[in-house]
Amino acid sequence: MQIAMLHTRLRTEERLLLDAFESLGVNVKLVDLRTVVFDPSDPGAWARVDLALDRCVSLTASTTAVQVLEHFGVRCVNSSRTIEVCSDKLSTTLALARAQLPMPAVRVATGREAGLEAIESIGYPVVLKPTVGSWGRLVARVNDRDAAEAILEHRDTLGSVRQKIIYAQEHVDKPGRDLRVFVVGGIAVAAIGRRSEHWVTNTARGATAESVDLTSDLRALSQQAAQSVGADLCAVDLLECPRRGLLINELNHSMEFRNSIDTTGIDIPRLVAEHVVSLAGATHQGVSA
Amino acid sequence: MSITIEANCPECDAPVQPARRPLAGEILRCTQCSVELEVTSTEPFRLELAPEVEEDWGE
Ligand SMILES: Nc1ncnc2c1ncn2[C@@H]1O[C@H](COP(=O)(O)OP(=O)(O)O)[C@@H](O)[C@H]1O
Ligand SMILES: [Mg+2]
Ligand SMILES: [Zn+2]
């Protein structure tokens, strides 16, 4: 069985995953995508790879490699489709809407005028975020029309073309934290709360992880969310709305978990490695049969 | 014979010793100045300042 781990820089997570694979007695080939050239008409050594686990911190590197590898017939975790849907908040919203799962109200528009209308149809405070982004960057809470107009003007004159997509979301008055559920192979395995003084509760922005009960509601909703994007592995982020209860905010296809292992007492890298090995085993048998 | 793996921080020149066998591409933090360093080679052990976070990076 051959498993490749696609990476750019190696974070703590990748080291933990390598250790987990090693403890299962499975050798994983590290592939630094910064050094790889693909020939779309010649799979070469990729023909012998049963599964590629994408652990790239760079979305561009991920989507490029996974697209080519799937073309070669390599099983990728996550799939290109899942990466595409999770990495774009509008695509995620559409997938959740299709599955009729609860989420904060969203309006989408392109252009300044329609953007302002989108924002005001939700009502202040409203949350604006880039459709493609992570670690809480450029996520903005807008309290009034002055601020909305300023952000729209800045986006228009200073932003990239992608910044012209106005993705406006209802602000959820959450209790000082959001929730994150890790879903591995369709099963919710662990949950944390991410708590911060700031309303943006990414651990990359200094929030701390706290333990929370993986209630049956939280479990069911997270599993449905993961299924709606076809994720083999993901972290589902949810907001606790005082009025509507649990709402799904977003899904992460290449989740970080270093702060969640001690908090939950769950060996997340081990569970990920076991699931990946079982998927690779199935592919391998399919090939040799 | 045990060999010590060590290189100097390109930012503050403090000696940096990885806690375990380093891997190429791995991110280490300088204990002296806290800068993020990337292992660019393991034999010989070399460190460079890790690249700045880019727009498409994330989880
Ligand atoms: N609609 C919202 N209401 C309240 N808090 C929000 C809302 N959207 C985002 N946040 C806060 O901001 C954080 C980052 O937003 P998120 O949509 O997850 O973007 P990113 O992909 O950058 O993590 C969330 O973890 C949450 O704490
Ligand atoms: Mg998030
Ligand atoms: Zn230093």
Helix (H) or strand (E) holding A94, with range, is: helix A89-98
Q: Could you tell me the two tokens for A106?
A: 């969203």
Q: Which of A220, A217, A219, A233 is nearest to A279 (CA)?
A: A233
Q: Is residue B11 part of a domain?
A: yes
Domain that holds residue B18: 7-49
**Cβ–Cβ below 8 Å for B59 and A133:** no
What share of chain A in percent tops pLDDT 90?
A: 96
CB A2 within 8 A of CB A46: no
Which amino acid is it at B15? P
Please give the CATH architecture assigned to the domain spanning A86-90+93-100+173-253. Answer: 2-Layer Sandwich (3.30)
Residues in A touching B42 (Cβ below 8 Å): none
Query: Is B2's pLDDT higher than 60?
Result: no
Return the residue in A10, A28, A84, A236 with the most chain B beta carbons within 10 A, the one to mutate for interface testing.
A10
Q: Which of A215, A189, A210, A205 is nearest to A259 (CA)?
A: A210
Q: Could you tell me the two tokens for A256?
A: 């970080």
pTM (2 d.p.): 0.96
**Cβ–Cβ below 8 Å for B58 and A32:** no
Residues 6+ apart with CB under 8 A from A236: A180, A181, A183, A188, A221, A222, A225, A226, A248, A251, A252
Q: Could you tell me the two tokens for B41?
A: 């080679």
CA A231 to CA A80: how far, in whole Å?
10
Looking at the domain covering A3-78+272-284, what would its CATH class be? Answer: alpha beta
List the single residue in A with minimal CA-CA distance to B52: A9
Domain positions in chain A are 3-78+272-284, 86-90+93-100+173-253, 105-170
B38 CB near a chain A CB, below 8 Å? yes
Q: Could you tell me the two tokens for A8?
A: 């750019």
Q: Which CATH number fits domain A105-170: 3.40.50.2000, 3.30.499.10, 3.50.50.60, 3.30.1490.20?
A: 3.30.1490.20
Number of structural domains, chain B? 1
Output the domain CATH number for residue B34.
2.20.28.160
pLDDT of residue B1: 47
In angstroms, the Cα distances linking B42 to A88, A89, A125, B22 are 36, 39, 51, 7
Residues 6+ apart with CB under 8 A from A132: A59, A87, A88, A89, A162, B56
Q: Is residue B42 part of a domain?
A: yes
In angstroms, the Cα distances linking A100 to A96, A97, A103, A247 are 6, 5, 9, 12
CA A101 to CA A215: how far, in whole Å?
17
pLDDT of residue A124: 98
Q: How far apart are the first and last CA of chain B?
A: 41
At B47-56, the pLDDT tens digits run: 999 999 999 9
Residues 6+ apart with CB under 8 A from B12: B30, B32, B33, B35
pLDDT of residue A288: 57
CA A172 to CA A153: how far, in whole Å?
25
CB B40 within 8 A of CB B47: yes
In angstroms, the Cα distances linking A20 to A136, A255, A271, A272, A273 are 29, 16, 9, 9, 6
Q: Who lines ligand 1 at CB under 6 A?
A: A 104, 127, 129, 133-137, 139, 169-172, 174, 178, 199-202, 237, 239, 249-250
Q: Looking at the DSSP assignment, which residues form a beta bridge with residue A248?
A: A238
CA A10 to CA A13: how far, in whole Å?
8
Q: Is residue B57 part of a domain?
A: no
Q: Is residue B58 part of a domain?
A: no
The stretches in chain A having pLDDT less than 70 are: 287-289
**Cβ–Cβ below 8 Å for A9 and B58:** no
At A228-254, the pLDDT tens digits run: 999 999 999 999 999 999 999 999 999
Q: Is residue B39 part of a domain?
A: yes
At A94-121, the pLDDT tens digits run: 999 999 999 999 999 998 999 999 999 9
Residues in A touching B22 (Cβ below 8 Å): none
At B18-41, the pLDDT tens digits run: 999 999 999 999 999 999 999 999
**Cβ–Cβ below 8 Å for A9 and B59:** no
CB A31 within 8 A of CB A44: no
